[in-house]
Structure 1
Amino acid sequence: MACSSRAFMSGLWSLSRGMASRLLFVAVLAGPAAALETPVAVELVLALDSSASIDRKEFQLQLDGLALAFRDPEVQQAIENLKPLGAAIAVVQWGAAGETRIVLPFTELHTARDSKAFGFRIGLIRRWMRASATSIATAIDDSRALIEGNEYDGQRRVIDVSGDGPDNSGLDIEAARQRAGQAGIVINGLPIMADQDGLDLYYRDHVIIGPDSFIEPARDFEDYIRAIREKLLKELRPLAS
């Protein structure tokens, strides 16, 4: 029995880093799944591109823009307008397959104070990796799994994908977006047009899906601050609007 136990532990330690990361992601999802789901107006995953094409300064601009957005009075009012249900919002970093990381787990927001606190927590996030590939398909699949495996029941379920390039991972992005659509999840896109002409059209044709899905292009990383605010105001609108 002791030998079997040692062999088992050795096998676990021999997992590749990518597989270990994927198992960690799945383990995080497994915990709340059995819990009673809490109704919310909006479930939203904010998926930030952490691929190699984005340098340290550009990634920080994404974080700063996102943090500022949740401190914005209009965004805070949009969250107030979702009462009594509120929103549940998570932040992930994504890159190549197996590299998605939950950097801010689902958090309930009901008030302007909640929004301000969430913005503060975003400001504490640090980049955990610089991925080797831009796998939007992975970002979509992992964000969908995060929505389907959490303890919330959103009347509107949304994945918000930000990125500065097309999928180059070789995975089937069309299949990924169709899986999200079939699960009743809307995908919206924020293409950052710093280096890729026509990226807005790519996001429109290959990323977004679902009723009222949309893109909110940013001209460059500095314009991301404006774009993410405008995007959140649309995504956090009251259900009847």
Structure 2
Amino acid sequence: MAARKSISVRRMGSSWARFWLFPPRLSRAMASRIAALLLLALPAQAQEPTVAVELVLALDASASVDRQEFERQVEGLSRAFRDPEVQKAVENLKPLGAAVAVVQWGGPGETRVVLPFTRLDTARDSKAFGFRMSLIHRWLWASSTSIATGITDSVSLIEENGIDGQRRVIDVSGDGEDNGGTDLEAARQMAHAKGIVINGLPIMADMPDLARYYEDRVIIGVDCFVEPARDFDDYIRAIREKLLKELRPLAS
């Protein structure tokens, strides 16, 4: 009987597999067949999940927003995702769905992710996200209002999340103009260059002309828009209307 011979078959990124084969004359053919079977059995390289909409909801947590006003933002988002029309909008994104994250922003270096990107495919997912939203806390009381920082950090969150969004959107809510000392125009142009749309929800409680500022200085991209709120109470209505526009199929 021919001496037993060992043959090792290796695929990049996988463990070694060792086979003992008889006789030497058949070893090459058998090894080739086994190697082919192994390559078929090993899982394919993971692909980035694709969603119809990638959305970052960026909430103003600067000092100009008091405790009650911030709670109204949280309440508005929580109620919006539990709204039947918003849930229907999520359902209409099937089979791709949406990926939504929530951040709080203030001054430079102070952005905080409070809800990481979450996949929403069904009305139940939307309702659960709304419930989670109702539980978040305020993590900062920033001394400045750096819309540029909120945009820049939201862009990074989108770029690094491992999700492939057919439409990528940053939804900026705030009650004042940028005064954080960072270049707002550079931030919005960077987002635009990466194909990210910026929409705005100006809360005009203290600045009646803030909607015009958002139109001129904040929003950018294809089909970008401003959905103004008269005050923090009106935010609840405005964020619902805004989500209904953003959570729409790409072809509509």
Scaled by the length of structure 2, the TM-score of the pair is 0.82
Output the CA distance in 2 between the equivalents of 1:35 and 1:105: 21
Counterpart AA for 1:190:
L
1:136 aligns with 2:132: no
Residue aligning to 2:206: 195
Tell me the equivalent position of 2:230: 219
Question: Which structure has the larger Rg over C-alpha atoms?
Answer: 2
1:119 to 130, 142, 152: 130
Q: What's the counterpart of residue 175 of structure 1?
A: 186
CA distance in 2, matches of 1:181, 1:238: 20
Aligned residue type for 2:123: A
Relative contact order higher in (CA < 8 Å, ≥ 6 apart): 1
| CA distance, structure 2, for counterparts of residue 46 and residue 35 of structure 1 | 27
* 2:206 counterpart letter in structure 1: D
Contact 1:35–1:151 (8 Å) recurs in 2: no
Partner of 1:73: 84
1:46-81 deviations in Å (ceiling 9; x for gaps): 000000000000000000000000000000000000
Q: 1:35 to 1:93 in 2, by over 3 A?
A: farther
Q: Secondary structure at the match of 2:63?
A: coil
Unmatched segments (≥5 aa) in structure 1: 1-33
* Misfit runs of 4+, over 3 Å: none
Partner residue of 1:99 out of 99, 107, 110: 110
Is it true that 1:88 corresponds to 2:99 in the alignment? yes
Give the Å deviation of 1:206.
0.4
| Aligned residue pair count | 208
How many Å separate the matches in 2 of 1:108 and 1:171? Answer: 32
TM-score computed with the length of structure 1 as normaliser? 0.85
Does the 8 Å contact 1:90/1:107 carry over to 2? yes
- Tell me the equivalent position of 1:147: 158
Q: Which amino acid aligns with 2:249?
A: P
In structure 2, what is the Cα distance between the partners aligned to 1:37 and 1:50? Answer: 32
The residue that corresponds to 1:60 in the other structure is 71
Q: CA deviation at 1:36?
A: 3.5
Describe how 1:31-50 pairs up with structure 2 within 5 A. Answer: 36-50=47-61
User: C-alpha distance in 1, partners of 2:176/2:49?
Assistant: 35
Contact 1:162–1:191 under 8 Å retained in 2 = yes
Shift of 1:35: 6.8
For the residues of structure 2 that align with 1:117 and 1:153, how far apart are their CA atoms?
A: 23
- Which of the residues 215, 221, 238 maps onto 2:249? 238
- Structure 2 unaligned runs (5+)? 1-44
